[in-house]
């Protein structure tokens, strides 16, 4: 069993406060929150694992991502930068990753192993600064960096506009199923700040009740 799998998932301390605020401001969100009691956003606290899982999950379903991830962990039980670098992209590709994702995974491990990322500073950096640090890694774009902000640093006010789940949720619950652009999503999300991460998470639940754990 890997070291990261032994870490106890934790939830953000602002969660209950966020639910109360969102429920008071937004009747639509109040109804959604009532449907999913007793579950929260959680993370295992390991930055490398969070980013690796986000890379695996790019552009595939939650179920498919979990299947591939389970294969990766079986192939590389230690699941740390050094172990991934030793096994290389070919071993990872055999787990169901595309060639490109396998290369991204190895590049991520290199950035951690060589200390290229400013990991020790992330807690004190604002969201945009963390995003700019992370997107230097191959395969980490804005969406993946935003998932890291939400699931690892547990930032409360992230609005991942490129996320398909958020787009679908806003369309279904606020625009009668009609897809809308980023400006309209931002307008709706004004009600949610400073808890846009929480609102996004609840919209995800309407499409997949089982929370993902990065």
Task: Note the pLDDT tens digit of each residue in 120-160.
Answer: 999 999 999 999 999 999 999 999 999 999 999 999 999 99
Give the angle 74-120-17 at the CA atoms, nearest 5°. 85
Per-residue pLDDT of the chain (214 residues; tens, 9 = 90+): 344 444 556 789 999 999 999 999 999 999 999 999 989 998 867 899 999 998 998 888 878 888 999 999 999 998 899 999 888 898 899 999 999 999 999 999 999 999 999 899 999 999 999 999 999 999 999 999 999 999 999 999 999 999 999 999 999 999 999 999 999 999 999 999 999 999 999 999 999 877 776 7
Q: What is the pTM of this model?
A: 0.87
Residue 25: its pLDDT value, please? 98
Residue 10: its pLDDT value, please? 79
Q: How big is the chain by its Cα radius of gyration, in Å?
A: 17
- How many of the other CB atoms lie within 10 Å of CB of 183? 8
What lies within 8 Å, CB to CB, of 214 at 6+ separation is 43, 44, 49, 50, 53, 54, 147, 148, 151, 152
Q: How many helices (H) and strands (E) does the chain have?
A: 11, 0
Residue 152: its pLDDT value, please? 93
Cβ pair 134, 140 in contact under 8 A: yes
CA 27 remoteness from chain centre: 26
Residue 9: its pLDDT value, please? 67
Residue 3: its pLDDT value, please? 40
DSSP run (H or E) holding 190: none
Domains of the chain as residue ranges with CATH = 15-42+158-205 (1.10.1670.40), 47-151 (1.10.340.30)
What lies within 8 Å, CB to CB, of 75 at 6+ separation is 87, 91, 92, 94, 95
Residue 59: its pLDDT value, please? 81
Residue 45: its pLDDT value, please? 72
């Amino acid at each position: 069993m890997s070291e990261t799998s032994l870490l106890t998932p934790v939830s953000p301390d602002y969660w209950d406060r966020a639910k109360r605020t969102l429920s008071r401001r937004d009747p639509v969100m109040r109804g959604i929150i009532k449907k999913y009691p007793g579950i929260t956003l959680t993370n295992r606290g390991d930055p490398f694992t969070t980013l690796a899982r986000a890379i695996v999950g790019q552009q595939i379903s939650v179920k498919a991502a979990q299947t591939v991830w389970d294969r990766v962990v079986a192939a590389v039980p230690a699941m740390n930068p050094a172990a991934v670098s030793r096994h290389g992209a070919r071993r990872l590709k055999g787990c169901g990753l595309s060639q490109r994702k396998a290369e991204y995974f190895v590049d991520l491990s290199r950035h951690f192993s060589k200390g290229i990322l400013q990991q020790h500073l992330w807690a004190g950096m604002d969201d945009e600064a963390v995003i700019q640090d992370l997107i230097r890694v191959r395969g980490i774009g804005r969406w993946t960096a935003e998932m890291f902000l939400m699931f690892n640093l547990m930032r409360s006010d992230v609005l991942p506009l490129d996320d398909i789940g958020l787009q679908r949720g806003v369309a279904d619950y606020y625009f009668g199923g009609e897809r809308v652009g980023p400006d309209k999503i931002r307008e709706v999300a004004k009600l949610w700040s400073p808890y846009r991460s929480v609102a996004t998470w609840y919209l995800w639940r309407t499409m997949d009740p089982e929370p993902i754990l990065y």
